[in-house]
Structure 1
Amino acid sequence: MLKIKRVPTVVSNYQKDESSADVSVGCGRNCLGACCLNGARLPLYSCKKLETSGEKVVVNNEAREPPVAFLESLVLGEWEDRFQRGLFRYDVTACETKVIPGKYGFVAQLNEGRHLKKRPTEFRVDKVLQSFDGNKFNFTKVGQEELLFQFEAGEDDEAQFFPCMPLDAENSPSVVAINVSPIEYGHVLLIPRVLDCLPQRIDHKSLLLALHMASEAANPYFRLGYNSLGAFATINHLHFQAYYLAMPFPLEKASSKKMITTDNGVKISELLNYPVRGLLFEGGNSMQYLSDTVSDTCVCLQNNNIPFNILISDCGRQIFLMPQCYAEKQALGEVSPEVLETQVNPAVWEISGHMVLKRKEDYEGATEEKAWRLLAEASLSEERFKEVNDLIFEAIGCSNQEGKLEGTKVHQQNTNGSVNQTSNRSHGTASECLVLQ
């Protein structure tokens, strides 16, 4: 049995060592368990229908503003309130950040606080689908003070805000909570139907909810990300991450080649000249169609045990999907020692180009070549990527033959510079691999 050591992110102040004998929930500490939920209240934001999200609603020839500024007041405002109350493990605003010189503009951050307080536990990296385990840390164990508000997809043409609504255990709410180990300003977690205790796996309803949130934020610098199990999700309880960073990600600037357009108008393109091979989904006759196409793709990857990361960009209009194999290669001892020494696990934010570095020497010596080399370790080989694409296109009912004829380039960068773009060979699934977190 192969084992590797890894340090997970502590996302809640109530996240404990699972080896502790005390695995009880609640005990009067105001959690989301049955012992503390009775009488709990939280603001509720019900967003407008996706077709009108991001637009002013016109009623009687008058444009109506949202009842509350979703991004500025709810997400960032409530996050700032929790910051002032001292709920975070460190001050992320004090972390040094810079843009690495070069063609791609990778963003480097020195964040030495994220790897403190190691927490040993077992976590399988060879299984994308794993059953929810209530004895492990999950989001029903967070303190209610870490929650910001309830969020739901509304059915009306305008958003609604209720400043104090009960948390209904019979109708499991979706909630937004702080990440107490933030990567960037406003780092939050979107936890769909939190009381249903869903494992970390994409389903159609939850991905659509994430697109609702991206659309409602109405700001291209607010992105949502998702890590599957085996692609550096550290908690097996369904959640998305999101934060605000006022600069473009290198992934968003990457050129791409159109492969197919689905019957519902969703354009699928292959990323070009980027260290991690991936797909870009955009367009569609509606955001529902875009969401469904990506959901079908994710379900295919999950069922075929292929780890992946997702970045939801451009207010929900673009979705990047990157299958990856870093944890598998790490377990097999096939990652270069130089990369391993950085202790960086390339999850969605790193793969998008926001490099969260844990050592000062890595930050001070950061170069585009080093960033590329680290991310390339996570990429599927060209041959394996083609095999995965064939699985995807079969699952969504499309043929990849069209893409071989079109070759249309979009999002082409007009920048100079070159880096080593050698990718890695294919790897089979590691048998019985565990990560000791």
Structure 2
Amino acid sequence: MNNSIFSSEQIFCRAYNEGIFNHMKNDGMDLGSFIRVCANAYFDPHVYSNAKNQLRIKFENLVHKYKMAFKNGNGELIQESNEDLLIFLKIVCMGWDKLKSTEKRREEMWNIQFNQIRSFRPRGTAKRQVKGIKTGFDERKFNFNKPFLQNECFWEGNLEGEQISLFYNKYPIVEFHTLLVPDRLKNIPQFIEEKYHRYIWTLTEKLGVNIQGLGFGYNSYGAFASVNHLHFHMFIKKEEFPVMHKDWKHNGGSRNYPSACEVFSSPDESWSYINELHKKNIAYNLLYLPGKICCFPRKKQGTYEHSSWTSGFAWYEMSGSMIVFNSKDYEMLNEKLISNEFAKLSIG
């Protein structure tokens, strides 16, 4: 594909939204595509305003389709994934008109987000304990080569010398949230090598010239990476992440960040640090920004008990933005509870 979509923020964002809207034009829109468009619409007001009427029609058509299938004894012909069916059932039970757009607020230094449709997902990886930060790729498990995922691929081609696939994040948590998969068909597990670290560093700097707010997040295996297939979370976020606030010591301020955070301004220094984490089998999350990277070493998932208000801290939470799963937690979450959660996973 032509990589001109990366030539400006306007072109990229337009292509991103057009890809979502194009799924709406498909009369045979499957359930997975419906939920992806729905999740994006209820996250982004612009998408919602353009898609709300069509989404309601698609919803009513799907309800009728499944009702008739079960009524006629053909329920076994429904081939949708269990997760998609569960989420759709929750929407049906709640009622279409009761769905809420994503809510966001500030709490002292932190961002808090209540993402209702995302909250309908089963919390698959949260309690899974892992011993190391690397495990072999398993084609039998969920990965980006699965045929049913290919219609979620937003763009694919050569970008700055590497073959990449860019997938929509089905449940976005940040603006223009996609998943960048380098050399997809090589089946690389979620363990970053120096080559890909330097590639993402360079890509962040080069694309960031024309696309303001562009960056990447990364979760190591054992730090709430949801897929063991090498991928990076790409986003465009105009507002500064809380971890970049000038008051934190790692940015020259006087306040200690509540968890270990190392900030580097070169790919060489940051790789030396990441490589040491690999040698010591320490899980970590990364935040790539133009000319800067934040490294968050932390305890592995499953080795501590996280609070019920979170499904576990990944790169987004480690950067200071919290996701909750009900209105009560959205209202009650405060700085003390957030700091306590950081303390649980901190390795000093």
Q: TM-score, normalization: structure 2?
A: 0.71
Choose from 203, 209, 217 the match for 2:208.
Answer: 217
Where 2:301 maps in the other structure, the secondary structure is helix
Give runs of aligned pairs for residues 7-406 of structure 1, distance below 5 A. Answer: 43-45=1-3, 69-74=7-12, 76-84=13-21, 85-86=23-24, 87=33, 88=36, 89-90=38-39, 91-93=42-44, 94-100=101-107, 102=108, 104=109, 106-118=110-122, 123-141=128-146, 143-150=149-156, 152-154=158-160, 173-215=163-205, 216-218=207-209, 219=211, 221-253=213-245, 254-256=247-249, 273-282=256-265, 290-313=266-289, 315=290, 317-325=291-299, 327-330=301-304, 335=305, 340-381=307-348
| Structure 2: distance between partners of 1:299 and 1:225 | 17
Q: Hey, what does 1:28 align to over in structure 2?
A: none
* Contact 1:95–1:109, Cα closer than 8 Å, also in 2: yes
* Contact 1:202–1:298, Cα closer than 8 Å, also in 2: no
Aligned residue type for 2:117:
G
Query: How many pairs align?
Result: 273
Aligned residue type for 1:192:
P
Where 1:205 maps in the other structure, the secondary structure is helix
- Give the CA deviation at 1:271: 9.6
| Structure 2: distance between partners of 1:278 and 1:184 | 21
| Structure 1: distance between partners of 2:226 and 2:130 | 10
| Structure 2: distance between partners of 1:99 and 1:270 | 20
Larger helix proportion of the pair: 2
The 3 A distance-change label for structure 1 pair 251 and 271 is farther
| Structure 2: distance between partners of 1:277 and 1:131 | 28
The 3 A distance-change label for structure 1 pair 204 and 68 is closer
Larger strand proportion of the pair: 1
| Structure 2: distance between partners of 1:244 and 1:325 | 28
Unaligned runs of 5+ in 2: 25-32, 45-100
Identity across aligned pairs (percent)?
A: 24
Instruction: Determine which structure has greater relative contact order: mean sequence separation of CA pairs < 8 Å that are 6+ residues apart, divided by chain length.
Output: 1
* Contact 2:250–2:263, Cα closer than 8 Å, also in 1: no
Aligned residue type for 2:11:
S
| Structure 2: distance between partners of 1:153 and 1:291 | 19
| Structure 2: distance between partners of 1:70 and 1:151 | 17
Which string of whole-angstrom CA distances, capped at 9 and with x for unpartnered residues, describes residues 381-419 of structure 1?
3xxxxxxxxxxxxxxxxxxxxxxxxxxxxxxxxxxxxxx
Aligned residue type for 1:255:
W
Which string of whole-angstrom CA distances, capped at 9 and with x for unpartnered residues, describes residues 125-160 of structure 1?
2210100101001011153332222354537xxxxx
Aligned residue type for 2:283:
P
* Contact 2:249–2:257, Cα closer than 8 Å, also in 1: no
- Give the CA deviation at 1:123: 5.0
* Contact 1:79–1:148, Cα closer than 8 Å, also in 2: yes
| Structure 1: distance between partners of 2:172 and 2:301 | 22
Q: Hey, what does 2:86 align to over in structure 1?
A: none
Compute the RMSD of aligned alpha carbons: 2.7
* Contact 1:132–1:237, Cα closer than 8 Å, also in 2: yes
| Structure 2: distance between partners of 1:119 and 1:108 | 19
| Structure 2: distance between partners of 1:177 and 1:69 | 19
Aligned residue type for 2:163:
P
Which string of whole-angstrom CA distances, capped at 9 and with x for unpartnered residues, describes residues 324-383 of structure 1?
1152432xxxx4xxx5221331111011011111121111122222222222222113xx
* Contact 2:129–2:300, Cα closer than 8 Å, also in 1: no
The 3 A distance-change label for structure 1 pair 299 and 293 is same
The 3 A distance-change label for structure 1 pair 189 and 120 is closer
- Give the CA deviation at 1:201: 0.6
Where 1:174 maps in the other structure, the secondary structure is strand
Q: TM-score, normalization: structure 1?
A: 0.57
- Give the CA deviation at 1:97: 0.9
